[in-house]
Amino acid sequence: MTLNEARRGKDPLPVVQVIADRYELEEMVGAGGMSRVYRARDRTLERVVALKILHDQYADDDDYVERFRREARAVAQLSHPGIVTVIDRGDDGGGKPFIVFEYIEGENLHELLVRSGALSIRQVLELGGQIARALAFAHEHGLIHRDVKPQNVILDGDGRAKVTDFGIARSLDVEHGVTQTGMVLGTSSYISPEQARGEKADRCSDIYSLGAVLFELLTGHPPFEGDNFVAVAMQHVNQPVPSILERRPDCPPRLARAVERALAKGSGERFPSMDAFASELEACLAQLGAEPELDATLISPSPVLRESRPQRHRASRASRALVALGLLLVLLAGGGYVLLHDRGQTPVSPPAAAAGPVRVTGVGALDPFGPGNREHPERAADATDGDPATYWETETYKGALNKPGVGLVVQTGTARALRSITVSTTTPGFTAEIRTATSADGASQPGPPDSASRTVNGVTTFPLQGKRSSYWVVWITDLGPNSHVYITEVTAKG
């Protein structure tokens, strides 16, 4: 969970709440498996801060409370421009601990990727070096992060990276702490092989996770994708890392080698330290040399095209001829219907695209039958962040669901037909179906069903009927044995 995750489109809190007679909560800006984060106003110093409060269900669990307090103690030791600063900590008066952070008004790397796709080579190296230096500083002070992912890197107003959410950070000196070997923590798209096996994480685990983040910044996708946490985690353990150069031909070979070294299965094959990884990224950046002023802006609109342009100028006549031939074949395959139709022949459709993962983003919740039309829309993004510890949830109902349905809305970005949507939950037994939607507006009516109704148990896949949409709803019609429903992850295939 990041401090600014899922922050857009929320209303202020209906009732003024003040924590510790000092921090006035303004709105919830994010939620994760252990806690919620609010934007708040510090009445004493007259400034905006981010305030993280432990979930109610964990307030009586000594292990969770200790882990939460340890986060505050750990991060309070870290004063670095690349790490979000801890300002204060305490209890809210009811026994729930809280942590106060500096508030960063900016998007995180996950949001940047959704908005712009793969980044330019220079962006990747600049941001990667900043993240690596921040993590190296934490390592020097005895802390490993253990959940390095794009959602936990925020870009400030100057476009610089700041690492946040040391919620499962662990002291390198702890032998009998609350998080023990055998407990799998981390996000599956970026988890190291040793963490996936339930083994002890160390500095090299953060190196692996940062390598996975840089792989996604370069290619637009993490190195491994799948329908659920376990499937992806096992790929990190068993599968070779895909070639960066095949997915991003304009990537400098030295950078590709550095990222692939960070992603080595054995920790001893990776960089010996995060400092060494940072130094290699900085050396790759220095090799890029000076760029035109057009590329001076850190976040620019068409990075991949600009990085590729020098290669196009250097292409040989033979290469250009092969490209032209390839384009001609594509046009003939895609336009076969038009050519044959003009000649009065039976049209031949191009072959269907192979099934594969489709990126979806949680964008809201539908509740057209409830007061306020709200069903925790601010937490929708937690159901598509690749982290099984975070989730979207319905409201709590006494007895049966007293309305035709409520639903989580996800978006594909462009209108398309999907082959299937897979839903993961920790509250099995509820009934749902997949429907289309016209928007993420909570008051909107859901579209017609695109799947059969199914009981959701653990990880459940809904085969779809082929309707086209850019918005999809996991439409819950019966809570089953539950008073509320958690959806931890939604994935899609096209």
Instruction: List the catalytic residues.
Output: 147
Q: What's the CA gap between 3 and 280, in Å, rounded?
A: 30
What three-state secondary structure class fits 237?
A: helix
For 281-302, give the secondary structure using H, E and C: HHHHHHHHCCCCHHHCCCCCCC
Report in angstroms the alpha-carbon separations of 153 from 145, 190, 249, 390, 424: 12, 13, 26, 17, 25
Annotate 439-494 with DSSP letters as a single string. -S-TTSPP--BSS--EEE-SEEEEE----EEEEEEEEEEE-TT-SS-EE-EEEEE-
Helices H, strands E: what count in the chain?
12, 21
* CB neighbour list of residue 431: distance below 8 Å, 6 or more residues apart: 453, 454, 455, 456, 476, 477, 478, 480
What three-state secondary structure class fits 393?
A: strand
Phi, psi at residue 202, to the nearest 5°?
A: -140, -165
Two tokens at 352? Answer: 């269907």
Instruction: Describe the crossing of helices 121-140 and 203-219 by its angle, rounded to 10 degrees.
Output: 170
Query: Using an 8 Å Cβ cutoff, are 260 and 292 in contact?
Result: no
Rg (CA), the chain: 24
Q: Measured between alpha carbons, how far apart are the two ends of the chain, in Å?
A: 27
